[in-house]
Amino acid sequence: MQKMLAILSQVLRGPAQKTGAASEAARVLVASRNYADFASEATFDIKKCDLHRLEEGPPSQAVLTREEGLKFYRSMQTIRRMELKSDQLYKQKIIRGFCHLYDGQEACCVGLEAGIKPTDHLITAYRAHGFTYTRGISVKEILAELTGRKGGCAKGKGGSMHMYAKNFYGGNGIVGAQVPLGAGIALACKYFGNDEICLTLYGDGAANQGQIFETYNMAALWKLPCIFICENNRYGMGTSVERAAASTDYFKRGDYIPGIRLDGMDVLCVREATKFAAEHCRSGKGPIVMELQTYRYHGHSMSDPGISYRTREEIQEVRSKSDPITLLKDRMVNNNLASVEELKEIDIEVRKEIEEAAQFATTDPEPPLEELCNHIYSNEPPFEVRGPNPWIKYKSVS
């Protein structure tokens, strides 16, 4: 059987167009043999969180069902492959400009999404591709946005840093500027009394911006249902946290706001902590800070090779010892939640999805020139936008 599957997957790596039918066959094959043998769930010990101003923290054990595990695996693998594809498209000069990749941090966005409801709100900075995906935008629309095409999720007008979805407020370009917005969203949640919360994300670099502290104060003062989430990937652009922050205990930097620090490379740990933090907010206790300890494999952006301020060995060590996808995969396989073959099959499907999306993102047309002037203001009837000189005018609609 092993051999047969190996042959099958060889076949699957062949001509891309034919994989549809073949993988269908593979799925049937695996299903007929294995599904009944798998455990339906398993319990795992997860790393204990560090706590600040909290008596109790998230549980130190988490239950993972087979179904969830497969879902998490597929999401994380999709994000990983999407980012690697973006890297490739960037190097081919098809994606241009400023592009910040998320590979290495997949457990954060997938775990956070698993700990909240789709109706909850989320806002982040410019490393936004992963969140755009977990908030429900297809790979196709994300890649098309990156390449600036009409079918992109912001109509090709935003690019890498500016992507949006329902209850996902972007995608913001200026370091730290999204944090006060997040508290504002939380204020609206509280005002509407709809039991919704806002996840407000920023990096370890942005944690030193003044407006974060202004926001902490307002959020605590008004007991806003806001989870401040610091994705600490150890480097703010090219500066390590130790060289940029007087205190690298980011979970304590809300001072009067309770905080938890957790392993951001473990999707289960992120999910449990998020559930805990969400419950804290929903119960009316006000804001809470989460520090997710994570790592980005790529440089800060595409112009940063990512090795002038850290060693290749360091990156290699994280990859080999704490990769979020490998961690989940090992847990699932070792506890009979899934088989290696089955996960490989997911990999193949993901790869196919990414290839198709990339095909779309490179062939979809760019938006028409009229789009240059649309959406500057909300206006009815259309107003005239002055062009480079008094003789060029464009109609702007919204």
Q: What residue ranges bind other proteins (CB under 8 A)?
A: 92-94, 96-98, 147-148, 156-159, 161-162, 173-177, 205-206, 208-211, 236-239, 243-245, 303-304, 308-309, 362-363, 366-367, 369, 371-373, 376, 385-392, 394
- Shortest Cβ 26–other proteins spacing (Å): 30
Nearer to other proteins, 239 or 335 (CB): 239
Distance CA(315)–CA(83), nearest Å, equals: 17
- Shortest Cβ 92–other proteins spacing (Å): 6
In the chain, which residue ranges form alpha helices assigned H by DSSP?
A: 2-12, 19-34, 66-91, 106-115, 129-134, 139-146, 178-192, 210-221, 241-244, 267-282, 312-322, 324-334, 340-363
CA torsion 301→302→305→307, rounded to 10°? 20
For residue 66 the two structure tokens come to 């087979």
Distance CA(252)–CA(290), nearest Å, equals: 9
Q: Phi and psi at residue 235, in whole multiples of 5°?
A: -135, 125
Nearer to other proteins, 251 or 276 (CB): 251
Nearer to other proteins, 58 or 159 (CB): 159
- Shortest Cβ 226–other proteins spacing (Å): 21
Nearer to other proteins, 100 or 329 (CB): 100
Distance CA(84)–CA(101), nearest Å, equals: 8
The DSSP symbol for 135 reads T
- Shortest Cβ 139–other proteins spacing (Å): 19
- Shortest Cβ 207–other proteins spacing (Å): 8
Nearer to other proteins, 59 or 367 (CB): 367
Q: DSSP states of 185-230 as a string?
A: HHHHHHHHT-S--EEEEEETTGGGSHHHHHHHHHHHHTT--EEEEE
Q: DSSP states of 351-362 as a string?
A: HHHHHHHHHHHH
Distance CA(215)–CA(207), nearest Å, equals: 11
- Shortest Cβ 52–other proteins spacing (Å): 21
Assign residue 269 a region (left: φ > 0; alpha: ψ between -120 and 50; beta: otherwise): alpha
Nearer to other proteins, 38 or 309 (CB): 309
Nearer to other proteins, 48 or 243 (CB): 243
- Shortest Cβ 209–other proteins spacing (Å): 5
59: closest CA among 260, 195, 286?
260
User: 19 near 220, Cβ under 8 Å?
Assistant: no
Nearer to other proteins, 330 or 366 (CB): 366
- Shortest Cβ 39–other proteins spacing (Å): 46
